[in-house]
Structure 1
């Protein structure tokens, strides 16, 4: 079984970043205080410095911009749908021997 990743809210992440930046604590010290991995604190600080508070928002499961992610299917034209269904019916008739 895989390890279940825990997610932290933005306020918790901001607290960790503030402890590092404002209070001058190290990654390991902040990690020990908050019982999280020091690598997480380091990553959150890097995201915060690059993007500000938006860098601490959860990004998993979201497309990164318009037009990205799984493509939307366009609605099928009624004439195209009719042709496709007729072709399927013909194929089924051939397979069933009718």
Structure 2
């Protein structure tokens, strides 16, 4: 059975309410929405803890200190709860945030604070070349679609980064071309050049997926061992 990467918030809420009213089972919801059992149970737990707001899209960035992130990771690794339990305890929107921190912790990457003063969103954009946009999108994808961190690293706006990633996901390398009248239009790239750029971004995406899959397998092993 296929898996949907995104289910609208209103559908999640309706599904959870149907479950809580005993109108549908978890299995029925999984079948109807093409999602996994764990995903549905996560929605239910979030709804029970935070209500409908917990399943609505975030309207602003929430900052977390470096100390809190490390504490949450170490608490999980010490066996003090499941990924979802620890995420709920520390007020995270989903266990994916915790999993990203664990991935950095285990690979000895620096875990940085993302508190309000250090999590300021860059709003001023700038002109970029196609090569820059390819590098920016590749970095963003490889780092878990960290729009804010990518915008700071490359000194472009948050909205630019988000827009380029979405365009790449929808249209491939053609989505990154800038056709606003130039001496040498970027759409004159040869097919070989386009293919090389496309491969560069797909490699970044595959690398990220491999890292995520390896982490998820490890987390599943840990949680099975605790059961």
Shorter-chain TM range is 0.5 to 0.7
Report deviation, 1:33: 2.4
Number of positions where the alignment pairs a residue of Structure 1 with one of Structure 2: 67
For structure 2, the residue ranges without an aligned partner over 5 or more in a row are 65-113, 121-227
Identify the structure with bigger relative contact order (alpha carbons < 8 Å, sequence gap 6+).
1
- Aligned equivalents of 2:42, 2:62: Cα separation in 1: 19
**Hey, what does 1:64 align to over in structure 2?**
62
* Cα drift, residue 45 of structure 1: 0.6
| 1:18 maps to 2:17 | yes
Look up the SS of the partner of 1:51 in the other structure. Answer: helix
Higher gyration radius (CA):
1
Match of 2:43 in 1: 44
Separation in structure 1 between the aligned mates of residue 117 and residue 39 of structure 2, nearest angstrom: 29
TM-score norm. by structure 2 comes to 0.25
CA contact (8 A) 1:27 1:39 kept: no
Q: Quote the RMSD (CA, aligned, Å).
A: 2.9
Match in the other structure for 1:85: none
> Runs of 4+ in structure 1 displaced over 3 angstroms?
none
Q: Which runs of 5+ in 1 are unaligned?
A: 73-98
Question: Aligned-pair distance for 1:70?
Answer: 6.9
Deviations 1:29-57 (A, max 9, x none): 22112222121110001000000111102
